[in-house]
Amino acid sequence: MTFSMRSSAGYLTNHLARLFASGLQARIRPLGLSTGVFPVMLQLWDRDGLTQKELVDRLGIEQATVANTLARMERDGLIERRGDAEDGRVKRTWLTDQGRALRDPAIAAADAENSDALSGLTEAERAQLLTLLNKAIATFGTR
């Protein structure tokens, strides 16, 4: 029985994800951001005051992971968390001014990382890759 890493989608996806993460990390670190924080910030830049549950639902990351990430973000001054007046269980997450100010440079960094990473592909290939990644992700939803 043989197994080739070059023809394993799982292996290649993991490898590429690590390369992406390290590239993005280098770009956003000067901003005081990190890769785990980035997806949360994207949500909050889009809309503030989300509950932890809402973030979990939007991000596809486990609740415990989100809780820990939010704690680091609060420690680092990116967000503030305040309880909800209506429901005592809920904590809503608000960007600090510092966190809000990072939006444009951070998104520019991510765009740059994406285009550099795909600079070896033609425009058609890039589009095809996005399509296939989305398709594979969707396949996981149906099992």
Partner DNA sequence: ACCGAAAACATAGCATACTATCTATAATTT
Partner DNA sequence: AAATTATAGATAGTATGCTATGTTTTCGGT
Residues that bind DNA (CB under 7 A): 14, 18, 22, 34-37, 39, 51-53, 56, 61-65, 67-72, 81, 84, 87-92
Provide the H-helix boundaries in 1-102: 9-28, 37-46, 52-59, 63-75, 97-101
| 52-67 residues labelled b (16+ CB within 10 A) or e (exposed) | beebbebeeeeeeebe
Residue 126, binding choice from a second copy, DNA, none, Cβ under 5 to 8 Å by partner class:
a second copy
d(CA 141, CA 54): 19
| Cβ-Cβ contacts under 8 Å for 72 (sequence gap 6 or more) | 36, 37
Beta carbon nearer to DNA, 19 or 108: 19
**Least separation in angstroms between CB 87 and a second copy:** 28
Residue 37, binding choice from a second copy, DNA, none, Cβ under 5 to 8 Å by partner class:
DNA
Residue 42, binding choice from DNA, a second copy, none, Cβ under 5 to 8 Å by partner class:
a second copy
**Least separation in angstroms between CB 130 and a second copy:** 6
Look at the block and give the residue holding tokens 């969707």: 138
Binding site for a second copy (CB under 8 A): 1-3, 5-21, 23-24, 35, 39, 42, 60-61, 103-104, 107-108, 110-111, 113-114, 116-121, 125-126, 128-130, 132-140, 142-143
d(CA 98, CA 95): 8
